[in-house]
Structure 1
């Protein structure tokens, strides 16, 4: 667990410069944020997302209810 709090990030995104301690997290970041492949589309506004979890979070913005 303490490795996740290192100040020096061993892996950095060549597109945005964000740093990661783990190569898997860097890979996940690139696929989620910098990939053109966005198969999950909102059926209300048609905005697309690379991850279903991001779509589900977005769908809540179309609702009047708040979870707080």
Structure 2
């Protein structure tokens, strides 16, 4: 905890990223930042929008958080799409009560 407080929340942050100016308390932390944020090689491209990432994990997180999950279940009444059949059935029961499946 003391090390964390000293390095992450230190008053002195002498290591500045040459790309964006963000300051760090340790050189290693700045190097990790440069590798993951400002990577020269960004080999992992999002198939949805084309945004490039230096690490596969960052691209996967982007896919999970930015692009909605697949929505393969469409309401036959209004066309609204859902990721799970049960959600579509609940929608049909509450919105289209007369035509809802059991």
Q: TM-score, normalised by structure 2?
A: 0.54
User: Please, which runs of 5 or more residues in structure 1 have no aligned partner?
Assistant: none
Structure-2 separation of matches of 1:15 and 1:44: 27
Q: Highest CA radius of gyration, 1 or 2?
A: 2
What is the aligned residue count? 65
Match of 1:52 among 31, 56, 71: 56
1:17 pairs with 2:18: no
User: Please, which runs of 5 or more residues in structure 2 have no aligned partner?
Assistant: 70-82, 84-102
- Measured on the aligned residues, the alpha-carbon RMSD in Å equals 1.8
Q: Secondary structure at the match of 1:36?
A: coil
1:2 pairs with 2:5: yes
Higher relative contact order (CA 8 A, sep 6+): 1
Match of 2:38 among 34, 41, 54: 34
What does the per-residue CA deviation read over 1:13-56, in whole Å, with 9 as the maximum and x for residues that have no partner? 12221101111111111122223300111223332101222101
